[in-house]
Amino acid sequence: MIRTLLVANRGEIACRVMDTARRLGIETVAVYSDADADALHARQADRAVRIGPPVAAESYLNIGAVMAAIAETGADAVHPGYGFLSENAEFAGACAAAGCIFVGPSAAAIRAMGSKIEAKHLVADAGTPVVPGYLGDDQDPDVLAAKAREIGFPLLIKASAGGGGRGMRRVDDAENFAAALDGARREATAAFGDDRVLLERLILKPKHIEVQVLGDTHGNMVYLFERDCSMQRRHQKVVEEAPGPTVSAALRTTMGEAAVRAARAIDYVGAGTVEFITEDDDFYFMEMNTRLQVEHPVTEAVLGLDLVELQLRIAAGEPIPFAQEDLEIDGHAIEVRVYAENPKRNFLPSSGKLHRVNWPNGVRVDAGVETGSDVPVHYDPMMAKVIAHAPDRPAAIAALRRALRQTEIVGVEHNVGYLANILAHAEFGRGTYTTALAEDAATSMAPPDSPVPLLLAVASLVVVPGDASPWAAADGFQLNLPHAQRLRLRRNRENLEVRVTKTGSSCRIEGLDGAHDVCGIALRGNRIEARIDGEPARASVYPIGDNVFVVSDGATERIEQQRLAVSDFRSIANPQGNVAAPMPGAITAVAVSEGDLVKAGQTLMVLEAMKMEHTIVAPGDGKVATINVSAGERVDEGTELLALEDQ
């Protein structure tokens, strides 16, 4: 068995791999960047080695730095997790050359499946159906445009060298093809260092079904059934489940055998995933991920296996300890991905310190953060995965919804409320949803913009916990008169001013969408209860600096109490057409020049943050007066990018 395992990754997957390694008596080594010096994965390992600055290209993607850490620690094996170097053939080859076991397939197998174009040729020759499209070597834009017209619209442009939705664009007509191609290539180059693309016919009612395969060095190969990963937003998976709710026994067998043929075509060793796109009973090969998948826990739950343990044992030369006929599905499992992002601001990633993290009981949580952790801007914003396993699908959905309601995250924006709304959606409940559901039902799945969290935040600000005496408040109390005060607040980047009139344990709050009566306010520790306009309301409130975080049923609202300043009044009275960065990141493209006339919604710049591109658009018609940044420059949240003059 392996003696010392270096985990060449970070976050929840690094913690998850180390959990299994420790159970097997294997010493663990973490690597970390300067941004992760105090990260959970670095503290959980037996040893931790710094590999570079925060930028991934200089740390987690730096093969030389990781190889130096392997040499320094004497690790006899390395687990790459997923993302970063997990599907890098050069890294796998370097490990082999150094006599270090790479827990995964050979460099040749990674290389064979690393190009979507070459992979589709390979599996088609092995008898696995592929989506109609263009897989040619000629990458001239004019040739690609001509091939697109032959395939027909709508279609997908996909990066050849990677996955996860990066370098992928949907194109609905020929007019928008060139711009989409430029964006896909730019994102593919940034993410994978390779701008080659392929074109695919767009399946209009698709399900994304993937099959987990497992191969060893003794010639054994099995499939561990399927996962439905159709709940996606921007081509990235949000919810995954096993087994697929619409997959028949016959289709399960047919897809499983096709997946095994594809894996055998490259002599695959280890855990891998063959991804298919399906429509009714038709299925087509999309790609093979030559690594562990984010969603592997749902397969583990329904089969009672530990895939990381199997990876380690296979890497050490042991055979798979069971045959295909030994495998049976037990119940149903569903996983949700908890991201640091703001669903109310088009899912912009969020970063910062986590002042409180409370994960639910009774379900599995694979987390890479805890109370006090930092969520850095440099990496993928996924903080954790929550997985529920139950005897059937309705019970699994119910258990996961309960778990999300128990979750508390304070300090960054997050998507827990959004995930709960997905699980409550009728079409998700039926299991017939396609990859289009998240976009089609975006409005109904978005967390409601309720006034209740703000009202509870205001109530918590004007109540003095544990002492109802007016002498304890020091807040303008006047004898025999109701206590009235004005508060200036900020919520979801919107400035609000409210008037609060307090009498005893009740108050009247004016200035939102009217007036609200908040009665019977009881603040016990961090729990607040009240009746708002006669309806009961309760939540947890956490005052942090000028912010009050209100947590209810898993969702968190951040309410900021503003400090009045002369500059604030000037900016409100005389608003300017300044465009600021919505979050920290790097400017990857500037689409306008000084003096250009632009229309509302026109692209001004492209900002890359947390491994995704975000388009900065004009807030209105105007003329570009000044441009303050250039492509390649890193900016902080709030940095003024350019100024528009009203025309």
Strand 47-52 and strand 27-33: the pairing is parallel
Sign of torsion, CA 60 61 63 65? negative
User: What are the distances in angstroms from CA 324 to CA 254, 314, 335, 405, 543?
Assistant: 14, 16, 25, 38, 55
Assigned token pair, 11? 């976050």
Return the beta strands (E) in 341-395 as ranges: 341-342, 348-349, 352-353, 356-358, 364-367, 374-375, 382-390
CA 247 – CA 515 distance, rounded (Å): 52
Identify the residue whose tokens are 């306009």.
533
Residue type, 542: Y
Q: How many angstroms separate the CA atoms of 574 and 581, rounded?
A: 20
Helix H or strand E segment including 318: none
Tell me, what amino acid is at 189? Answer: T
The catalytic position among 111, 291, 337, 491 is 291
Q: Are strands 356-358 and 382-390 parallel, antiparallel or unpaired?
A: unpaired
Q: Which residues pair with 60 in a beta bridge?
A: none
Residues 144 and 198: their CA atoms lie apart, in Å, by: 9
Separation of alpha carbons 512 and 493, rounded Å:
15
For CA atoms 34, 38, 40, 44, give the dihedral sign. positive
Residue 80 and residue 8 in contact, taking contact as beta carbons nearer than 8 Å: yes
Extract the tokens encoding 151. Answer: 């395939």
Buried b (16+ CB within 10 A) or exposed e, 421-445: bbbebeebeebebbbebbeebeeeb
**Catalytic residue list contains 149:** no
DSSP 384-437: EEEEEEESSHHHHHHHHHHHHHH-EEESS---HHHHHHHHH-HHHHHT---TTH
Catalytic residues: 291
